[in-house]
Chains A and B, each alone.
Chain A
Amino acid sequence: MLCENCGKRPATVHYTQIINGVKTEMHLCEVCAKQKGSIEFDAPFSVTNFLAGILEPAFGTQVLKPSFEMQLTCKGCGMTFDEFRRAGRFGCAMCYSSFSEKLYPIFRRIHGNTKHVGKIPTKMGEDIAIKREIDRLKIELNVAIKNEEYEKAAQIRDKIRELEKKLSRE
């Protein structure tokens, strides 16, 4: 296949672009691909550090076929997923939820696991307890309403609001 841009050299770089669910493919030679600029093509496999070495294989052939749908961006710090992959470092705590689904293969590769089973911070433990208490009270509230015990229901509702306030403050 020849490059779609210059029509001279063989197309070795393949893009898959998905915009509003419409998939378009682009096939370019390395020279034209480089001119497009938005993605680094110099050496897609240049493993500059240990971490890059860990991260690369997690994406398999996607490294050879960069696609724009990978341009995830963190809402917290503005870091893109590509930027994270290059630096091997997260920009903020929200990066974890922003890149969430991409992280499982990475964590599995590094740690062989994707779930923390160690220490829970005490304060966080309290939050978890409060959330559980709210869930319990909501069930109680439904029962009270069903039984037409409106005074009791109002009391439970106030308790829930109080707990929710406590959660949002932290």
Chain B
Amino acid sequence: MSDIVITSRIRLARNLSDVPFTIKMNDYDASNVIDRVRDVILKNKQYHFEFFEIKKLPLIKRQVLIEKHLISPALASSKIKSAVAIDQNENISIMINEEDHLRIQVLYRGQQIQKAWEDANRIDDFLEQHLSYAYDETWGYLTSCPTNVGTGLRASFMLHLPALTLLGYMKGIIDTITKLGIAVRGFYGEGSEAAGNLYQISNQITLGQPEEDIIANVVSITNQIIEQEQQARLKLLSENRAFVEDKVYRAYGILKYARNISSNEALKLISDVRMGISMGIIKETTIDRLDVLLNLIQPAIIQDYFGREMTPEERDIKRAELIRKILE
């Protein structure tokens, strides 16, 4: 199933009770929250957090963190003073002064939502011991946006759904699951397109259900989508085998031999090859390698990888080189 679930993510939104929310914050409030949270985070001995003030990070480094899904684009471009704490394994990040004072996020590869929830819950418990949260007996965790109130929990999966997309089933699926309180977004979150046939599925309801039920609901709907994707792949194979084989081998050929490739084109081709591997068509490489590529081809990460800034043209050449090397 790991060939369909790319990542599992848990996010908890939290606020301090005695400071205005970020929309009404001044510089003093913003620094105050950062200082208090930093002091607490550095007390934690279980995880090894590194702390960054966003404004002190070069733009390219911020972009790398966005591409690794460790911070949101909103945090990177925040007008108020903001920060992030990232654990050394880069699975956990705590964003400070994003839409809420605190956004605890845990992200793992594959289907590991339970593990992600346990980590997030543990970190939340720890922070709560030292900070006074905005919480109400009736409404639970008080958040900046009414769509997050209650648990403040967002449980999400990044899914790779090439066959459902190819067969034109995605619109119908999105319509259906939206009615079930599940949101669907593209690779880079809100408003982004489903580039590379990657879809982010997450709960929309945060109030009136316990955390475990919210997660179970997202898991159950995700499992149904996975099943449909598997059915769709079988259908493609039995009815259009020649077409599918041609499609994935062409994609593999371009990735393996191209000398110049944009991140968008690479993403599309990686998606095709990835499907080809899981269908048993392509045996020359592995899903794991394709997932490494999925990260590495992104514009800022590729510059980070080579340790220097590059023009877009130079990036496209280096990207092709890197893809060839990894597919060797």
Contacts and interface: CB of A to CB of B under 8 A. Distances in A.
Interface string B208-225: 111100100000000000
9 contacts: A54-B147, A78-B24, A90-B143, A92-B19, A97-B136, A103-B146, A115-B207, A116-B137, A121-B135
A140 B199 CA distance: 60
Given A89-B23, A91-B20, A114-B208, A96 B139 contact: yes
Contacts of A167: none
A51 interface: yes
Interface stretch (A9-17, A22-30, A34-42, A105-113): A105-113
Given A93-B15, A170-B132, A116 B20 contact: no
Interface of B: 15, 17, 19-21, 23-24, 99, 121, 124-125, 128-129, 132-147, 149-151, 153, 181, 205-211, 214
B21 A113 contact: no
Interface string A69-106: 00000001111000000011111110011000001001
A107 B135 contact: no
A115 B143 CA distance: 14
A123 B138 CA distance: 16
- What range describes how many residues of A lie at the interface? 20 to 34
B191 to A, nearest CB: 10
A128 interface: yes
A151 B138 CA distance: 39
Max count, chain B CB within 10 A of own CB: residue among A113, A121, A123, A124 = A121
Given A51-B145, A92-B20, A113-B207, 10 more contacts: A77-B24, A89-B23, A89-B99, A110-B207, A111-B206, A112-B208, A114-B207, A114-B208, A119-B121, A119-B151
A60 interface: no
A116 B207 contact: yes
B75 to A, nearest CB: 16
Contacts of A117: 208-210
Contact of B134 (A93, A106, A110): A93
